[in-house]
Chains A and B, each alone.
Chain A
Amino acid sequence: MKVTYPHMGTINIVLNALLRELNLEIVPPPPTSKKTLELGTAHGPEFACLPLKITLGNFLEALEQGAEILIMAGGCGPCRFGYYAQVQREILTDLGHNSTMLILEPPQTGWIDFLGKLRWLLGGLPVRAFQRGWTLGMAKARAIDCVEEELERTRPVEALHGVGNAEFNRFLNQLDQATTLAETAKLTKTYQSLLRQLQEGRRASIKVGVVGEIYTVLEPFSNQDLLQRLGALGVEVQRKLRLSHWISEHLTLNSRKRRQFRQEITALAKPYLQYFVGGHGLESVAHSIQLCQEGASGIIQVAPLTCMPEIVAETVLPQVSKDIGKPILTLFVDEQTAPAGLQTRLEAFLDLLPLNDISQHSS
């Protein structure tokens, strides 16, 4: 049986690690491209948010390649993401695809359902196989996050633009092939030091925090390579939203740790936003404060157009910006977003940053 999944940044490496342990044949969707987006936009609901359209495009392209089982995550609201899979299944049915959609709802919403699907995925293999795949997948996710953090420090200061990125891509390719934890750890070390060499001891003078909706932060296609663009403009990107955080936050069963994490976020956002609003709305507010405290000169919020939680965050962020004295730029992306407009806005925002810092110091 050929399984596939949607892209979200580098999540394919994590999923490959897991699914290979389960002896499943993987048909990864072709890398997200303009064609993916066109397919998704043509068949998806007009006013739905961008991730729904892109992931729908991923599925359609994977089906063309012969995929039979589509793996998708679920959720329990209030963000629309929890109902994506349902809408996508209806759309695929109407288009005449009789593929099966395997929707993994978070275990918190229903254990029996979750375990049942797990068992189906295992298909006779011992649970240990899943455990092994999971451990390797999570190790890879953490490895990616470590190296990517180094990459974000390298991009603004590397002598030749693009070298760091090329190294990172090579790292991803090798990591995807790695089959053991030791190999993963070794690759991480190698590439971390390689990237550090590229930095030659320099550090970017401007740091900008990136917050917002997780998909548009992690998937470079959806945000027009925002992080890379910022790097090329000489900015060190700082962010709390990373792949391994997202996975463990969603699937961790350690409720004490979960609660502790939530409490910290809630306390920081409290003066501006006193209740969770689904998605990463609360995080956007809390992380903006956190990142500025840690030395960022400004914040960029990125989210898909009509994203409900991020609109709430966007509304309260001007007050946050006033109180912490740092500018915040909100970027909504959709299928109409063009690179030139984005570049212009980024450049204007970055031009303002040093001025803002000077006026902060003098006053």
Chain B
Amino acid sequence: MPIIGVPRALLYYEFFPLWNGFFTSLGWEVVTSEPTTKGTIDQGVSMAVDETCFPIKVFYGHFLELCHRCDFIFLPRLVSIEPRAYICPKFMGLPDLVRGLTTQPILEPVVNLHSNKDYWRQLWGAAQLTGAKMGIKSNFRIGQALLCGLKEQQKHYQSLNNIVSPENTSTQKPRGRIGVIGHPYTIYDPAVNMNLLRFLENAGYQVVTPYNFPNQLLTAIANELPKELFWTYGRKVIGAARLWYQRKLVDGIIDLVTFGCGTDSVTGEIIERLVRRESNLPFLLLTVDEHTGEAGFYTRLEAFIDMIQFKAAIAGGDV
């Protein structure tokens, strides 16, 4: 039974349930690379071009670790995952970036859902192509596998949404709640974000991310901007930030960005200006890369938490 390798990087953190469901339903074994370590990062940094962003460097590390352990590497060309939005140019060229690094065959279906009209045709095409590459011709089996994958993905989204829903703000408030915005591969990879979520939880705060909220809601709020954003994750982070400060769902917002991220340089600037202009929430922009040191990182976080506590104390009349 051939083995499919999925690098534990980039949109693994959002779509692994879909991919895993699809492949296992077809009877294939799926392996992933090990969680990110210092070694993964070092290897990625040494292989990637200097100017590229941190997440792509981490991806290189995972890719190199994985490519000896599987028969196929699954690396979809994710051009667009929702109508009228792209992810990032680097995702559009992802298989081309690493083609020269391995002799292993790469499974690289094109996923382009940019047009509303042929959304399902495109998705089906990608699934069919992936199946055909592995010698499965039965449309019925592929359809079944796609449905199975989509169901797993739906379950994953539901489990994320259950943490907190915007209508239900009465969930117990430990000391307060901090919203962290960023791409899934920075927020959910503790080695990349210096264990930020755990740190905030240990400090007694509940953490929410854009992925805890339904996508349609975030997109609708993001689209209130004068011009519709054309990046999927740009919409999510702007939508989340605005939702949080408009409905006062959080006590502070942390914008977690990675060094060299092109889309964040634009959306981050807009978010920072909007938060400052339209609310008085504490806002912290944290940039991480392969050189980020624990000491400087945690000092800034502690100062941020102190600020939130001062504000709470003033509001509560304790000072």
Contact = CB atoms under 8 A, between A and B. Distances in A.
Interface residues of A, number: 42
B90 interface: yes
Given A78-B86, A90-B273, A315 B231 contact: no
A138 interface: no
Interface stretch (A42-50, A126-134, A154-162, A177-185): A42-50
Interface in A37-93: 44-49, 74, 76-80, 82-83, 86-87, 89-91
A305 to B, nearest CB: 6
A278 B277 CA distance: 32
A122 interface: no
B90 A306 contact: no
A275 B227 CA distance: 26
A82 B273 contact: no
A280 to B, nearest CB: 11
Interface string B43-56: 00000110111000
A273 interface: yes
B308 interface: no
A272 interface: yes
B230 A277 contact: no
Contact of B266 (A80, A281, A307, A312): A80
Contacts of A74: 227
A278 B86 contact: yes
Contacts of A273: 93, 96
Contacts of B314: none
Nearest to B226: A86
B263 interface: yes
Contact of A308 (B90, B95, B230): B90
A47 B77 CA distance: 26
Nearest to B93: A312
B97 interface: yes
B319 interface: no
Interface string B264-294: 1110111001100100000000010000000
B89 A279 contact: yes
- Interface of chain B, main secondary structure: mixed
B92 A78 contact: yes
A47 B51 CA distance: 12
B225 interface: yes
Contacts of B226: 86, 89
Contact of A312 (B79, B97, B100, B261): B97
Interface residues of B, number: 41
Given A77-B230, A78-B86, A306-B262, A277 B273 contact: no
B269 A87 contact: yes
A204 interface: no
B88 interface: yes
A232 to B, nearest CB: 27
B92 A275 contact: yes
A319 B86 contact: no
A264 B309 CA distance: 61
Interface in B212-270: 225-227, 229-231, 259-266, 268-270
B110 interface: yes
B51 A80 contact: no
Contacts of A33: none
B225 to A, nearest CB: 7
Contacts of B89: 78-79, 277-279, 281, 308-309, 311-312
Nearest to A85: B227
B96 A82 contact: no
A94 B229 contact: no
A309 B93 CA distance: 9
A314 B266 contact: no
B277 A94 contact: yes
Contacts of B260: 47, 306
A315 B97 contact: yes
Contacts of A332: 51
A171 interface: no
Interface of B: 48-49, 51-53, 77, 79, 85-90, 92-93, 95-97, 100, 110, 225-227, 229-231, 259-266, 268-270, 273-274, 277, 287
Interface of A: 44-49, 74, 76-80, 82-83, 86-87, 89-91, 94, 103, 272-279, 281, 305-309, 311-312, 314-316, 319, 332
Given A45-B265, A309-B89, 14 more contacts: A48-B269, A77-B85, A78-B230, A80-B262, A83-B230, A103-B227, A272-B96, A274-B96, A275-B110, A306-B262, A311-B53, A312-B96, A315-B93, A316-B96
17 contacts: A46-B265, A47-B259, A79-B89, A80-B266, A83-B227, A83-B266, A86-B227, A90-B270, A94-B273, A94-B277, A274-B95, A279-B89, A281-B89, A306-B260, A311-B52, A312-B92, A316-B97
